[in-house]
Chains A and B, each alone.
Chain A
Amino acid sequence: AQSVTQLGSHVSVSEGALVLLRCNYSSSVPPYLFWYVQYPNQGLQLLLKYTTGATLVKGINGFEAEFKKSETSFHLTKPSAHMSDAAEYFCAVSDRGNFNKFYFGSGTKLNVKP
């Protein structure tokens, strides 16, 4: 089974600073990769996904992520944090061929300081 590791359960940045949330997966065969955001008492919203093609993926709200096969990573970045980015972020993977069975990381809570 896949495993997904998100380094840092809590990350704190200042407004306007770079956001970097880390995600590593375990599979030797590159899976499909996703980042979701969850606001309190809400479901998950898709930020971006990588399935094939260009390894730098742009998502909503200014977020982007880069798939690095050699590092089995899919880190999420945003050049300039906004207060509204404060939420919990989840990295997820699904095996190629088992599309709708997602394995999630443990989540990273992002705090944005004014």
Chain B
Amino acid sequence: KAGVTQTPRYLIKTRGQQVTLSCSPISGHRSVSWYQQTPGQGLQFLFEYFSETQRNKGNFPGRFSGRQFSNSRSEMNVSTLELGDSALYLCASSPDRNNEQFFGPGTRLTVL
């Protein structure tokens, strides 16, 4: 089975712009979660989608949003980018509530 794929792998944006990151889960997985990884804050949970519905949400501002499509692929969007949004964004997929999340390689976002 192919693993979790994330596109693009690297992205450079400037402050004030918006960005969309994409995640394709493992085939058959219906849950997709997003995490932000930074040197200062570590790994932080953004949100989880299951069957096109947001099921869990972390403590991030409304500039961070996501969605899931009927084929379980997910996108996250960050609007009005700030320098502090520079991070590795990781996507993880899971069949359902079985406590095993499989992570993609991440998208490295740099905000200048």
Contact = CB atoms under 8 A, between A and B. Distances in A.
A100 B92 CA distance: 9
Contacts of B105: 41-43
A51 interface: yes
Interface stretch (A64-72, A74-82, A102-110): A102-110
A43 B56 contact: no
B33 interface: yes
Interface of B: 4, 31, 33, 35, 42-45, 48, 50, 55-56, 58, 90, 92, 94, 97-106
Interface of A: 32, 34, 36, 41-46, 49, 51, 90, 92, 94, 98-107
Contacts, number: 60
Given A98-B56, A102-B45, A49 B100 contact: yes
Nearest to A106: B42
Nearest to B102: A46
Given A100-B33, A101-B48, A43 B104 contact: yes
A100 B104 contact: no
Contacts of B35: 102, 104
Contact of B97 (A41, A43, A100): A100
Contacts of A103: 45
Contact of B99 (A45, A51, A105): A51
A73 to B, nearest CB: 19
A49 B42 contact: no
Contacts of A98: 56
A43 B45 contact: no
A49 B101 CA distance: 11
A100 B31 contact: yes
A17 B28 CA distance: 41
Contacts of B90: 43-44
Given A101-B33, A104-B43, A32 B103 contact: no
A32 B100 CA distance: 10
B28 to A, nearest CB: 15
B93 to A, nearest CB: 9
